[in-house]
Amino acid sequence: MNVRDVSIASDDTREVVARPVRPAAYAAPAGQVVTAPTAVVTEVPPHEVVAVRTSMSVSPAAVVAGIAAVALMLFGAINLARAGLDSPLRDPVVEVAGFEGTAVLGMIALGAGILLLGSAFSRDRGAIMFVSIIIGVAATTVAIEPNVGGGTISTEAAFGVAVAIMAAVVAVVSALAPTMRRTSDRIERI
């Protein structure tokens, strides 16, 4: 039998390759039997097949809440830095982005921004809506009565209106915009 390469595949995905040794001319002494060369068998490891699933999700509510949180934290941090913590927190009254406020307002805005950013990172639409409603209620209170707390925050009604509108937008987006998910499956041979 003159076979160059023989491949045999079994059901368990093992592959056995048999390659006979090249026949050669033998010179044997008288009285000895000449045997045919034997085949060399090499076992190839089985092919591994891996199923890979890739998924991606985008939450418009988390994106909008993250942007609003960064704006609140930026306003609060700048307000806090300008007012300082070395004097009484009610004094001085500083102006940031056209709105007046004290260090107390800066701490409140910074804390609200951190809460909103935490809920945005969780991507939980319920948490985003809850935090934005709490911020909206507080901002509406400031819009109605700017000197709430005995003038501790010393801000304007316009600041309360701006934050209330921002919180309302975040709440509406978290209520209406669904989280978009995309999943793809593929099979790879290793």
Q: Is 92 helix (H, G, I), strand (E, B) or coil?
A: coil
SS (H, E, C) 19-76: EECCCCCCCCCCCCCCCCCCEEEEEECCCCEEEEEEEEEECHHHHHHHHHHHHHHHHH
List Cβ neighbours of 187 (8 Å cut-off, separation of 6 or more). Answer: 49, 50, 51, 52
Summarised one tens digit per residue, pLDDT across range 18-50 is 455 555 555 556 666 656 666 666 665 667 777
Strands 94-96 and 6-9, by their bridges, are: unpaired
Residue 10 has pLDDT above 50, yes or no: no
Tell me the domain boundaries of the chain: 6-47, 55-180
User: pTM for this one?
Assistant: 0.66
The H or E element spanning position 94 is: strand 94-96
